């Protein structure tokens, strides 16, 4: 790992085994190479799941050192993450976006908490100071509402249930009955982990403004899918 990881922290990571970063991406050619290069400094393996990009996302990711797995266009983030974890060789999985908004240098924080016994670890964007342009006001409000509802339904006190920047043991991931296709994957993983009695914890991470690519998340459609997933898993 890079020099930003202390010797003591490095030793604590030994129990985590090999670490794979799984990065779902669609038309992120402008950012993906930098994300892959930074992640490779900190993990054992980087897998980019290319969700039918029409640009050269896959080629740039491969040139930067990632193993690229391609899926059919529009299969969704949930499908991309599940495909990536299946292909991963690591005993520990970290997940981050390919648009450059997640900072790979925050990975040691997540891994350190995982090594201390949490599983999964969620990188919350609403504890540390975050660039005001990194999260649109409507997205911030929507996230707050969904987080408040999940906390109410499941009796927890989380601050960012929709964060995609996470670390989880491969063993826990494989034990969870995950079927989500789209952006509701974050909610499904959290709820299934809570239902399994897992030790879900958060750590503060940064968030950077998007400078490349186009937004994929659809506020109304995906927001309703997330809400539906949350409620369905509570009453089922």
What are 20-40's pLDDT values in tens digits?
999 999 999 999 999 999 999
Whether 123 maps to a domain, the answer reads yes
- For residue 33, the enclosing domain spans 7-235
Whether 1 maps to a domain, the answer reads no
Share of the chain above pLDDT 70, in %: 88
Nearest CA to 205 among 176, 167, 231, 148? 167
Whether 101 maps to a domain, the answer reads yes
Alpha carbon 101 to chain centroid distance? 11
Token pair listed for 119: 């599983």
Range with the largest mean pLDDT of 43-47, 140-144, 218-222: 43-47
CATH number, domain of 66, equals 3.90.550.10
Q: What is the largest CA-CA distance in the chain?
A: 47
Rounded to whole angstroms, how far apart are CA atoms 67 and 61? 8
H or E element: which one contains 223?
Answer: helix 219-235
At 12, the pLDDT band (50, 70, 90 cuts) reads low
Whether 2 maps to a domain, the answer reads no
Nearest CA to 78 among 160, 170, 179? 179
Q: Specify the pairing of strand 45-51 against strand 19-25.
A: parallel
How many domains does the chain divide into? 1
Nearest CA to 233 among 183, 182, 175, 194? 194
Whether 176 maps to a domain, the answer reads yes
Whether 110 maps to a domain, the answer reads yes
pLDDT tens digits for 71-119?
Answer: 988 889 999 999 999 999 999 999 999 999 999 999 999 999 999 999 9
Question: Is residue 219 over pLDDT 80?
Answer: no
Whether 89 maps to a domain, the answer reads yes
């Amino acid at each position: 790992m890079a020099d930003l990881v202390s010797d003591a922290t490095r030793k604590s990571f030994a129990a985590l085994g090999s670490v794979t970063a799984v990065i779902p991406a669609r038309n992120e050619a402008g950012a993906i190479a930098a994300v892959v290069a930074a992640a490779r400094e900190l993990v054992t393996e980087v897998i980019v799941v290319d969700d039918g990009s029409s640009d050269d996302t896959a080629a740039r990711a491969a040139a930067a050192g990632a193993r690229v797995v391609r899926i059919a266009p529009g299969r969704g983030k949930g499908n991309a993450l599940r495909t990536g974890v299946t292909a991963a060789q690591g005993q520990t999985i970290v997940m981050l976006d390919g648009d450059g908004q997640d900072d790979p240098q925050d990975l040691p924080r997540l891994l350190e908490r995982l090594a201390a016994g949490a599983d999964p670890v969620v990188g919350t964007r609403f504890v540390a100071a975050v660039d005001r342009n990194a999260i649109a006001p409507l997205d911030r409000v929507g996230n707050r509402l969904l987080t408040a509802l999940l906390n109410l339904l499941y009796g927890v006190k989380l601050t960012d249930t929709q964060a995609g920047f996470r670390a989880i043991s491969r063993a826990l991931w494989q034990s969870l009955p995950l079927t989500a296709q789209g952006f509701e994957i974050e909610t499904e993983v959290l709820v299934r982990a809570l239902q399994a009695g897992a030790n879900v914890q958060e750590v503060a991470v940064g968030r950077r403004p998007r400078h490349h690519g186009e937004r994929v998340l659809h506020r109304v459609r995906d927001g309703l899918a997330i809400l539906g997933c949350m409620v369905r898993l509570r009453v089922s």
